[in-house]
Amino acid sequence: MAKTGTTTQGLRAAIERSGYYPALVAEAVEAAVGGEPVVSYLVHQETTFDSNEVRRHVTVLVLTSTRFIVSHTDEQAADGTSPSPYATTSTESVKLDRISSVVLSRVVANPEAYTPGTLPREVVLTIGWGAVSRIDLEPAACGDPNCDADHGYTGSSTADDLSLRVSEAGDGPDTVRQALAFAQALSEATVATAR
């Protein structure tokens, strides 16, 4: 379940409500935020099914006046390296002027009957700041079907630092609204730093 808001206390409460190792997640996020006031945040817990295992993870996005902070926590079952289950938490702090892209994809049902303000069925928030890029290459070709010359490669490079999907069916309508609100706050903040 995702939660969004604008206070440090609200952020702590949202992490606790997620119920996913709240002490661990809150400590990591609060250390990354430091003393900066929280402008907006989004807490998203997701459960996935991997073969015969159920895996949970939580992503916390925080916006301050100068930074975008992303924290991700995964749980792992006991394995050859650890006799007991464990969790891995990472945080990354990105200066707002480094964010190069905030993409919000909306999926709407019955687009021919869409009215402004209708909640999308799902949204995917993709944020790029240059830490990770995906390159898709394929052989280039010409229009001649009999040509066997090497035309090199063609492709595209896509920023792929963070992608977060929330849906009305899986997460509820409030979660979709909250993801939209966070995306708008982040987009506005990146415009403000570009001036």
Is the CB of residue 24 less than 8 Å from the CB of residue 10? no
Query: Bigger pLDDT: 2 or 121?
Result: 121
- Per the domain annotation, does 42 fall within a domain? yes
Cβ pair 45, 111 in contact under 8 A: no
Q: How confident is the model at residue 194 (pLDDT cuts 50, 70, 90)?
A: low
Provide the number of structural domains found in the chain: 1
For residue 72, being part of any structural domain is answered with yes
Predicted confidence (pLDDT) at residue 51 exceeds the cutoff of 80: no
The reply to whether 50 falls in a domain is yes
Range of the domain at 7: 1-96+169-180
Determine, yes or no, domain membership for 8.
yes
**Is 5 among the domain residues?**
yes
Rounded to two decimals, what is the model's pTM? 0.80
Separation CA 98–CA 194 (nearest Å): 10
> Which pLDDT score is estimated for 32?
96
Is 119 a member of any domain? no
- Count other Cβ atoms within 10 Å, centred on residue 194: 9
Please check whether residue 125 lies inside any domain of the structure.
Answer: no
Task: Report yes or no on 68 lying in a domain.
Answer: yes
